[in-house]
Amino acid sequence: MNKNKFHLLIAFFFLSLSIQAQEALFNAQQIISPEIHEDSSVTFRLFAPNANSVQITGDFLPTVKVETPRGTMDGPGKADLIKDENGAWVYKSKILKPELYNYSFIIDGFNTTDPNNPFLIRDVASATNIFIIGGGHADLFEVKDVPHGTVSRRWYDSPGLEMDRRVTIYTPPGYENSNEKLPVLYLLHGAGGDEEAWINLGRASQIMDNLIAEGKAKPMIVVMPNGNVIQDAAPGEGSMGYYKPQFMVPQTMNGRYEANFMDIVKFVESNYRVIPDKAHRAIAGLSMGGFHTMHISRFYPNTFDYVGLFSAALMPREDATGKVYSNIDETLQTQMDNGYKLYWIGIGKTDFLYNANKDFRDKLDNMGMKYEYMETEGGHTWRNWRVYLSEVVPMLFQ
């Protein structure tokens, strides 16, 4: 073979490889996943021609029992994808109800996200894809063509915790161009969360924008602090740098956060146009944040007129030894005697904290302390907490 023919064959070989690579890339880019159909069923696709098996797991599938650090809980089920003749794996769901859903793929036992869906959320250390089936209550989770508020990340000085700390703050549409003073909702996250949780997982800004636009909620400021006292900010956002988030950060339920919560209130009332009185302050939280909410609201029993407990972690804890956790009955009695506008409790029927919440309601009943109660389907999930926020916000500051 002469030299020219050899060079020609080499050139043809690399051209073939380039065409094949471009074709593979092109095919992958043309895949639509998830594809939401008119009947609200959804098709998922993954191009993985060399995979032996592909499954999907997500909260739109029937739940299964899962052992977690929090006990036995409902977890997302799994379903098999079917491989087509082009090497793409396909799964079509049943018709889905309106909701924000999350999912991921399992390829030969390896859990990963959908490369064709760039929209993800982080819950503790797990990242999953999301999609929304609109309609009903899920309309509140979507970005609508309505006036939008502003979401900012601020740093405040906490003398009690001896550090500057990061907080996420939502201000309603028009705040920057107004002189009006507003009420404030302090919205607390659960274990494994941080100041990003309610914005990213809870769709708090979308819920607030849409409820205000519909005239169902008063314009208000929403303050979303970090409840992990050893952190100055969410993982990757503070001085501790990049590290793997964990479910239970040390010292988060030892009383220091609750005892020093007024550092946050003082920062907000010094830097924002607010009405600094009990009638214009609300506090609510989910799970660990519900635990914090219950204790903060009774430890400062004349500070909040509105209290919301979402799947609150109200069971006794061995590490709850701080001053904040003493004299619970007496301070609840003081809180009741001082008066309040709303004490709201929500819990799912299969939540592992259901009995603890029932015991707490029995305590309130025996005291004669009035509260609003909402019981929903499902367990300890963001699906419930988004609904609870949507229910409570219209009841505030009326």
Cα dist from 385 to 57, 120, 134, 287, 344, whole Å? 21, 19, 18, 9, 13
0.75 exceeded by pTM? yes
Closest C-alpha among 349, 339, 325 to residue 255: 325
pLDDT given for residue 4 in this prediction:
53
According to the model, what pLDDT value does residue 227 have? Answer: 92
d(CA 96, CA 99): 8
Cα 248 to its chain centre, rounded Å, is 16
- d(Cα 312, Cα 347) in Å, to the nearest integer? 8
The pLDDT value recorded for residue 179 is 95
What does each of the 398 residues of the chain score in pLDDT, given as a tens digit? 555 554 444 444 444 444 444 444 445 557 999 999 999 999 999 999 999 999 999 999 998 776 665 566 677 889 999 999 999 999 999 999 999 999 999 999 999 999 999 999 988 778 899 999 999 999 999 999 999 999 999 999 999 999 999 999 999 999 999 999 999 999 999 998 999 999 999 999 999 999 999 999 999 999 999 999 988 888 888 888 887 887 778 777 888 999 999 999 999 999 999 999 999 999 999 999 999 999 999 999 999 999 999 999 997 666 666 788 989 999 999 999 999 999 999 999 999 999 999 999 999 999 999 999 999 999 999 999 999 999 999 999 99
Residue-level pLDDT at 38? 96
At 325, the amino acid letter reads Y
Domains in the chain and their CATH numbers? 28-134 (2.60.40.10), 140-395 (3.40.50.1820)
Torsion of CA 246, 228, 172, 139, to 10 degrees: 30
pLDDT at 9: 47
3-state SS, the chain, equals CCHHHHHHHHHHHHHHHHHHHHHHHHHHHHCCCCEECCCCCEEEEEECCCCCCEEEEECCCCCEEEEECCEEEEECEEEECEECCCCEEEEECCCCCCEEEEEEEEECCEEECCCCCCCEEEECCEEEEEEEECCHHHHHHCCCCCCCCEEEEEEEEECCCCEEEEEEEEECCCHHHCCCCECEEEEECCCCCCCCHHHHCCCHHHHHHHHHHCCCCCCCEEEEECCCCCCCCCCCCCCCCCCCCCCCCCCCCCCHHHHCCHHHHHHHHHHCCECCCHHHEEEEEECHHHHHHHHHHHHCCCCCCEEEEECCCCCCCCCCCCHHHCCHHHHHHHHHHHCCCEEEEEEECCCCCHHHHHHHHHHHHHHCCCCEEEEECCCCCHHHHHHHHHHHHHHCCC
Residues 304, 283 contacting (CB under 8 angstroms): yes
